[in-house]
């Protein structure tokens, strides 16, 4: 288990700094490096001439080598930093590196960029902004569809981009968060159920399902606790909707935070949506309002902010207790 102080610093840096554009205009973001490595393997081994079984096998090998390579790099970086910069300076540097793999600030900023044009009645700009954070077709979305897509992305990506990496970071340290981000990035790139990737990306998709299984359910609980200041009834309804509807989602994990968000806000999420011109009859999560308003995004963002604060408080409590019991050994 990694140092609670290291976790605290990493999540604080991410919330304060986020992903500075000036920095990543000059150097590649770690996730960009992961994507380039993986897609180089995909271009070399995902060939149409191969049989589905061969594509699945090659996809598994490429995925495995890709994940192992980045975990090995993470272990090497951690060893070098802690060897040459022991103590607090090394902790600061590792926290900076880990913070680049967290995404609460960038997530909230992206959703706020959808919220502002919605509030101003600028549907075209809102469609453009929401298209940057969802995979569905957005060209025909009205206000309800835009807000629904933004809320679903907010809930799911809070799990994938914040809770899950922190979970793996706490358990396995810097190599753990790199491991998670490598798997999650692979799923977002090749884990699609289309002709090109359904076989080659099979192991990436299944791996992502596994690494997000516990974090997705923890995210639902965190959102429930975060809803208590707005009324116990909202938290209770969120729990009711989550337990009832989460399993209906096509994803084994995304339904948990999304259903909880729907229940807390008293809205319907999910439902039909279009991908590459084809309509998919997605199930509804929740039994509240279908007509959504800009204030629903405001409430969703507030909920995420409180859930993040709960994570911060939990880590601080762990540090306090560990210092009492072990005289600062975890610092």
Structure confidence at residue 277 (pLDDT) = 66
Are residues 327 and 13 in contact, defined by beta-carbon separation less than 8 angstroms? no
Quote the percentage of the chain above a pLDDT of 90.
Answer: 84
**Residue 289: φ, ψ to 5°:** -70, 140
What is the C-alpha separation between 167 and 147, in angstroms, rounded? 28
Structure confidence at residue 202 (pLDDT) = 98
Helix (H/G/I), strand (E/B), else coil: 135: coil
For the stretch 301-306, contacts whose Cβ atoms lie closer than 8 Å and that sit 24 or more positions apart, written own/partner, are 301/108, 301/111, 301/112, 301/115, 301/154, 303/223, 303/226, 303/227, 303/261, 303/264, 303/265, 304/104, 304/107, 304/108, 304/154, 304/158, 304/223, 304/226, 305/108, 306/226, 306/229
Q: Which two tokens stand for residue 162?
A: 């914040």
**β 284-285/269-270 pair status:** antiparallel
| Location of structure tokens 């590792």 | 94
Within a 10 A sphere around the Cβ of 240, how many other Cβ atoms?
15
Structure confidence at residue 331 (pLDDT) = 46
Structure confidence at residue 257 (pLDDT) = 98
Helix (H/G/I), strand (E/B), else coil: 257: helix
Burial 41-63 (b: 16+ CB within 10 A, else e): bbeebbeeebeeeebbbbbbebb
Structure confidence at residue 327 (pLDDT) = 59
- pLDDT per position as a tens digit, 102-134: 999 999 999 999 999 999 999 999 999 999 999
Structure confidence at residue 326 (pLDDT) = 67
Closest CA to 58 of 184, 49, 183, 208: 49
Structure confidence at residue 140 (pLDDT) = 86
- Alpha carbon separation from 20 to 8, 23, 24 (Å, rounded): 19, 5, 7
Q: What is the chain's mean pLDDT, rounded?
A: 93
Instruction: State which residues of the chain have pLDDT below 50.
Output: 329-331
- pLDDT per position as a tens digit, 283-313: 999 999 999 999 999 999 999 999 999 999 9
Q: Which two tokens stand for residue 212?
A: 């997000």
Ranges of H-type helices in the chain = 4-17, 21-24, 30-45, 52-84, 88-99, 104-119, 123-130, 143-158, 164-190, 202-211, 213-227, 232-245, 255-265, 294-326
Are residues 147 and 294 in contact, defined by beta-carbon separation less than 8 angstroms? yes
What is the C-alpha separation between 47 and 2, in angstroms, rounded? 41
């Amino acid at each position: 288990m990694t140092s609670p102080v290291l976790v605290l610093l990493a999540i604080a840096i991410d919330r304060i700094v986020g992903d500075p554009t000036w920095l990543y205009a000059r150097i590649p973001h770690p996730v960009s490096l992961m994507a380039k490595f993986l897609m180089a393997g995909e271009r070399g081994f995902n060939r149409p001439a191969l049989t589905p079984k061969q594509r699945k096998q090659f996809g598994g090998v490429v995925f495995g080598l890709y994940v192992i390579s980045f975990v090995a790099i993470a272990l090497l970086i951690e060893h070098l930093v802690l060897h040459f910069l022991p103590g607090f300076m090394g902790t600061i540097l590792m926290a900076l590196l880990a913070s680049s793999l967290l995404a609460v600030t960038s997530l909230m900023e992206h959703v706020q960029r959808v919220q502002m044009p919605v509030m101003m009645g600028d549907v075209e700009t809102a469609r453009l902004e929401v298209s940057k954070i969802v995979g569905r077709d957005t060209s025909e979305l009205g206000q309800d569809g835009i807000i629904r897509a933004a809320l679903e992305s907010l809930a799911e990506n809070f799990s994938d981009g914040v809770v899950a990496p922190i979970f793996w970071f706490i358990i396995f340290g810097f190599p753990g968060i790199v491991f998670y981000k490598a798997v999650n990035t692979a799923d977002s790139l090749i884990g699609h159920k289309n002709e090109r990737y359904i076989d080659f990306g099979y192991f990436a998709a299944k791996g992502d399902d596994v690494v997000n299984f516990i974090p997705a359910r923890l995210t639902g609980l965190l959102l429930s606790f975060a809803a208590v200041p707005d009324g116990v009834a909202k938290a209770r309804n969120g729990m009711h909707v989550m337990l009832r509807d989460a399993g209906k989602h096509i994803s084994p994990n995304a339904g948990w935070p999304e259903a909880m968000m729907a229940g807390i806000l008293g809205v319907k999420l999910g439902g039909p949506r279009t991908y590459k011109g084809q309509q998919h009859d997605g199930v509804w999560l929740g039994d509240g309002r279908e007509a959504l308003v800009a204030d629903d995004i405001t409430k969703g963002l507030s909920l995420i902010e409180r859930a993040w604060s709960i994570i911060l408080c939990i880590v601080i409590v762990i540090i306090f207790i560990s210092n009492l019991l072990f005289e600062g050994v975890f610092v």
